[in-house]
Amino acid sequence: MEYFSLPRTSTLDVRWAGIFEAIIGLVESNHYNPHYELIVVAEGPVYLQVGERQMVLKSGETLLLKPWEQHSSLKQTETGRFFWVQFTSEPPLLELDGSTIFSEDLNIVHALPNELRTSSRPDVDGLLIPRQFRLSNRYRLMTVFERLIEEFNEPEGYFRYRMSLILGGMLELIADELRQSSNEFNVPVPFLTFRKIVNYLDETYAQNVRKEAIERSLERKYEYICQVFKKYAGITIVTYIQQLRIQRAKYLLANSVASLQEIAAEVGFEDPFYFSRVFKKIEGISPTVYRERTENGPL
The 10s digit of each residue's pLDDT in 167-204 is: 999 999 999 888 787 655 555 778 778 889 998 999 99
Inter-helix orientation angle 222-233/189-204, to 10°: 100
Query: Mean pLDDT throughout 40-58?
Result: 90
Query: Mean pLDDT throughout 15-36?
Result: 78
* Judgement on whether residues 204 and 287 belong to the same structural domain of the protein: no
Confidence of residue 100 (pLDDT cuts 50, 70, 90): very low
Query: Mean pLDDT throughout 218-228?
Result: 94
Could you tell me the CATH number of the domain that includes residue 265? 1.10.10.60
Confidence of residue 2 (pLDDT cuts 50, 70, 90): confident
* Judgement on whether residues 53 and 179 belong to the same structural domain of the protein: yes
- Higher pLDDT: 144 or 2? It is 144
Closest CA to 174 of 83, 90, 258: 83
* Judgement on whether residues 202 and 282 belong to the same structural domain of the protein: no
Share of the chain above pLDDT 90, in %: 59
* Judgement on whether residues 130 and 75 belong to the same structural domain of the protein: yes
pLDDT at 31 over 70: yes
pLDDT at 107 over 50: no
For residues 95 and 298, give the distance between their C-alpha atoms in angstroms, rounded to a whole number.
35
Share of the chain above pLDDT 70, in %: 85
* Judgement on whether residues 65 and 203 belong to the same structural domain of the protein: no
Could you tell me the CATH number of the domain that includes residue 84? 2.60.120.280
> In total, how many domains does the chain have?
3
Confidence of residue 121 (pLDDT cuts 50, 70, 90): low
* Judgement on whether residues 111 and 161 belong to the same structural domain of the protein: yes
For residues 32 and 66, give the distance between their C-alpha atoms in angstroms, rounded to a whole number.
9
What single-letter amino acid sits at 221? K
Confidence of residue 44 (pLDDT cuts 50, 70, 90): confident
Task: List the single range of 39-48, 72-81, 260-269 with lowest mean pLDDT.
Answer: 72-81
Is residue 132 within 8 A of residue 62, CB to CB? The reply is yes
Its domain, for residue 10, covers: 3-96+103-183
* Judgement on whether residues 55 and 26 belong to the same structural domain of the protein: yes
Is residue 4 within 8 A of residue 131, CB to CB? The reply is yes
Across the chain, mean pLDDT equals 86
pLDDT of residue 265: 97
Query: Mean pLDDT throughout 249-271?
Result: 96
Which DSSP letter does residue 66 get? P
* Judgement on whether residues 252 and 128 belong to the same structural domain of the protein: no
Query: Mean pLDDT throughout 274-283?
Result: 97
Interval 7-16: pLDDT, tens: 888 999 999 9
* Judgement on whether residues 37 and 132 belong to the same structural domain of the protein: yes
Give the E-state strand segments of 3-98 in sequence order: 3-6, 11-21, 36-43, 46-50, 53-57, 61-65, 71-73, 81-90, 94-96
pLDDT of residue 101: 47
Query: Mean pLDDT throughout 239-248?
Result: 95
Query: Mean pLDDT throughout 30-38?
Result: 90
* Judgement on whether residues 18 and 115 belong to the same structural domain of the protein: yes
Which DSSP letter does residue 9 get? T
Confidence of residue 109 (pLDDT cuts 50, 70, 90): very low
* Judgement on whether residues 165 and 60 belong to the same structural domain of the protein: yes
Q: What pTM does this model have? A: 0.67
* Judgement on whether residues 89 and 128 belong to the same structural domain of the protein: yes
Is residue 94 within 8 A of residue 5, CB to CB? The reply is yes
